Amino acid sequence: MVSLVPLVQAQRSAPTPTSKPSKPLLRRTTLAGTIRKRDDAGLDDDFLLAPPSPNKRARVTFNPTVEEKIMDEYSVKGRSLELIRSETRRAIEAHKRGDSEAYDTIKEVFAPRKGGDDEEPEMRVEMRTYLLALSSYASELDRRCSGLVKGVIACEWMGRDKGFVEAYVRFLGSLASAQGAYVGMVLGMLVGHFHGVRLSSGRIEGCPDVNRDQLALRIHKALEYLLKLIPSASNTLSAILNAKFPFQDETKTVHITYIKNLTQLIEYAPELKSDIFALITDRLVKVDVQMQLDLDDLDDDVTAAVAKTVLTQSSEENDGEDSDSDVDSVTSDEDIHSDSRRVKEISGNIEKMDAILDLLFTIYSPYFTDPNSVEATSMFETLLAHFTNIILPIRHARHTQFLLFHFAQTADHFVDRFAGTCVDLAFRPGQPAVLKQSAASYLASFVARGAHVEPEVIRTVFELIGSHLDNIRVENELTCRGPDLKRYGTFYAMTQALLYIFCFRWRDLIISTDVLEDDDPTGFLDQDLDWAPGIKETLSRAIYSKLNPLKICTPLIVSEFAKIAHHLRFLYVYPRLESNKRIRLSQFSSSQANGALRETGNGGNDESWHQLESYFPFDPYQLPMSKRWVEDDYVQWKGVPGLNQDEESDDDSASEDDEEEVEIEENTATEDDNE
C-alpha cells in the first residue's frame, strides 16, 4: 500500500501521527501449549458478581476447623467429599474396563431434570460435589469418558449459585488443561451463548435469580479465565468464532448480540482483535450483497413498499433487549400474500444491515477520537486491509464500504492514504482487470463524493490518473484498431473516473477564485474559466485518441459530462459523440466475452455488453438509522449555474431532456439527494 503524496511528489505535507506503530495491532505473542496456574488465571471469589447462595457458608482459611467445615458443606447422603472422590475415581476406572454402572450413575447427576421433576437442595449439592471430584481426576477423562464430559458441559450452570458456577468454571479449566481434545468443545459451548442467553437460564429453582447481564458476564469471565489459563487456546477460539457466527437469515437481535459479545471479547483477548474485526466485516459484506441482490430482483411497487416499511420500522425502533421474552416474536404468514412476505423479509434484512453498521460505526469511532494517535493509525490500517482483501473484490456491496468513506475523512493523512491505496490497486501490474476497474470506481466515487477531500487532493488525483492515461495511450495507440473494453479496460475505467469526478467537483478544478465567489449564476457564462494546469489537455488527449473512451464509458456519464463541459466551455465533445454513433463495438472487441465488470453472458450484438457499467460504490447512503454517521461527509449533487435555464429554453426538447435527466440521476447518482 502506498500513499498518494510520494506518487506525485506533492508539495503539501499531510499531518503525521505523533508516534506510529511499526505494525498494526496483531496477535500478541504467546507460548503455544503454555498452561498457567489456575490461581494466576484470575478466578477469584468475587469474579462472578452474582448474589451468593443464602445457604453458602463463608470460606475459612488458616483455621483448624476448615477441614470439618468443607466436609460438612459437601457431604452428600452421609458421604464426604473425599469419599465421593474415591467413588468417582473407581467409577472412571471401571468404565474403562467395561463396567459402566457407577459411571452412568454420575452421568445421571448432570442430566437435565425430566418435566415436572423438582430439583431438591440435595441434588444441587450433589452436582457441585461431583464437579469438585471430577476436577481432581480431569487427567483421567480421556476420549473414553466423552459421554460424561459432554453431559457435564451441557448441564444448566449459568443461573446457579455463585459457589456452583465457580466450581464449574474451575472444572472447565482443569479439563481443558489436562485434556486438550476437549478445548474446542468447552470453548464452543461458551461461544454458543454469544447468540443470546435465555432469561430462563437465570431462573433455577432454589437459586437466586440471575439477570441477562449477569449471565453474559459469567460467560465472558469463564472465557477470560480459560484464555489466561491456556493462552494457546486463542487459535482454537478464533476458528470457533468464525464457525458460530450467525447465519444470514438469523434475526437482527441475534447478529447484534453476537457482535457485541465479540467486541467485549476483544477487551480481554486483544490478540484476537484483528481476526474479530475481519470476521465481522466479511460477514457484513455477505449480508450487504444478499440484501442488494434481493432488492435488484424486486419490481418498483414492491421496492416502494420495502422502503416505506423500513422507514416505519426505523421510526418505531425498539430493540427490546430488556424484554422478558426468550425468542423474537413470530407472525404467521399463512394469510399473508407472497409479496407481503417478501416485503417483510427484505425489510428485516435492511433493518438488520442498518443496525449492524450503526453498531460498527459506534465501535470504531472511539479509535479515531485523536486521528494522529497510534490507535487511530493502527485501526485505519486494519480498515484498509479489510477494504483490500474483503470489500474490494465483492462488487455488490452497497453500504459496508462507508466505514472507509467516513473514517478516511477524519484526517487529511487518512484521505491521502486511502486515495493512494486505490491508485496503487488500480495500476498495480498483474492485478486482475476486475479489481483494477473496481479500484478506479472507488477512487472516483471517494474523490467525487467526499466532502472533506480538499481541492488539492482532487487536482493531484487528476494529475496522477492523467499521467497514467498518457502512458497507456502512448503504449497502445499505434496498434489500436478501435475501442475495446477487453483489451484496454484500465484505460477506460480511469477515464470514466475522471469524467465522474469532473461532473461533481469541477468547481475544485477551477483556479479563478473570483468566479467561484460570484453568486451570480451568469458569472460562468460567456467567459473562459481558468482551469488547473493539464486538466483540459489530459482529457482531450484521452477522448480523441484511437482508444475512444467516450464509446466505452457509461453513456449516461458521458452525456452528463458532455453537457457540463460544453456549458463551462471546457471541452466540446458532441462531434465525437455523433461519430461514435456509427461505430459498432463488436467489430473491435478482442473477444466475445463480456467486459471485466460484466457478470454473465456475452451480450451478442448488444453494444452495452462492450461498455463499462455505472458502478460508483459511494453513491447515496440509504440506510435510515446509520445514515447519520456519513451525512456530514457527503457531497450532494449541485446543478451547474445556468445549465438548467439553457435546457428549459429549448421548448421542443424540454420533455425529452427531463426524462434523460431523471435517468441520469437514478443511474449515476448525480441527483439532488435532498429531494
pLDDT one-digit tens code per residue, 203-227:
888 788 999 999 999 999 999 999 9
Q: What is residue 76's three-state secondary structure?
A: strand
Question: Which residue, 134, 82, 86, 85, is CA-closest to 107?
Answer: 134
More confident residue, 515 or 237: 237
Same domain, 342 and 483: no
Mean pLDDT value of segment 499-512: 92
Question: pLDDT, tens digit, for every residue of 581-609?
Answer: 988 877 666 654 434 444 434 444 567 77
End-to-end CA distance of the chain: 39
Quickly count: other Cβ atoms within 10 Å of residue 225's Cβ. 22
Note whether residue 19 is domain-resident: no
pLDDT class of 443 with cuts at 50, 70, 90: very high
- What average pLDDT does the chain have? 80
Residue 76 φ/ψ, nearest 5 degrees: -125, 115
> Which pLDDT belongs to residue 524?
60
Could you give the percent of the chain with pLDDT greater than 70? 71
**Alpha-carbon distances, residue 178 vs 140, 238, 525, 667 (angstroms):** 8, 21, 83, 62
All 3 cell numbers of residue 110?
448432570
- Give the mean model confidence (pLDDT) for residues 378-394: 96
Please indicate, yes or no, if residue 17 is contained in any of the structural domains.
Answer: no
Both 224 and 276 in one domain: the answer is no
In a domain, 533, yes or no: yes
Q: What is the mean pLDDT of residues 370-392?
A: 96
Q: Which three cell numbers stand for residue 207?
A: 437459586
pLDDT > 90 fraction of the chain, expressed in percent and rounded? 55
- Residue 528 pLDDT greater than 60, yes or no: yes
Answer whether residue 18 shows pLDDT above 70: no
Per-residue pLDDT at 277 exceeds 90: yes
pLDDT on residue 193: 96
Q: Let me know: does 514 contact 546? Beta carbons within 8 Å.
A: no
Same domain, yes or no: 415 and 376: no
Q: Residue 75 — pLDDT band, cuts 50, 70, 90?
A: low
Please tell me whether residues 556 and 528 are part of one structural domain: yes
Name the H helices within 365-411.
374-386, 402-407
Of the two residues 305 and 178, the one the predictor is more confident about is 178
Output the nine-digit C-alpha cell for 429: 501490474
User: Does one domain contain both 382 and 410?
Assistant: no
655 located within any domain: yes
Residue 7 domain flag: no
Q: Are residues 239 and 268 in the same domain?
A: no
Q: Are residues 301 and 189 in the same domain?
A: no
Same domain, 544 and 499: yes
Report whether 264 contacts 219 (CB < 8 A).
no
Name 634's bridge partners. 450
Q: How far apart (Å, rounded) are the C-alpha atoms in residues 585 and 603?
A: 12
**pLDDT at 332 (0 to 100):** 46
Using the 3D structure, point to which of 355, 371, 390 is the last residue of a domain.
390
- Structural domain tally of the chain? 3
10 found inside a domain: no
- Residue 650: the pLDDT is 46
Residue 415 lies in a domain: yes
What is the predicted pLDDT for the residue at 656?
43
Domain boundary among 212, 244, 276: 244
More confident residue, 47 or 301: 301
Query: Same domain for 317 and 444?
Result: no
- Between residues 76 and 633, which one has the greater pLDDT? 633
CA dihedral 7→9→13→17, nearest 10 degrees, is 30
**CB under 8 Å to 273, separation ≥6 — which residues?**
25, 266
Asked whether residue 30 is domain-assigned, the answer is no
Lowest mean pLDDT: which of 189-193, 233-237, 411-415, 424-428?
A: 424-428
Please give the pLDDT value at position 71: 40
151 and 264 share one domain: no
User: 188 and 89, same structural domain?
Assistant: yes
Are 198 and 262 in a shared domain? no
- pLDDT for residue 651: 42
* Enclosing domain of residue 86: 38-244
**How far, in Å, are 297, 475, 486, 515, 548 from residue 480 at the CA level?**
39, 10, 12, 41, 10
For cell 476420549, what's the residue? 143
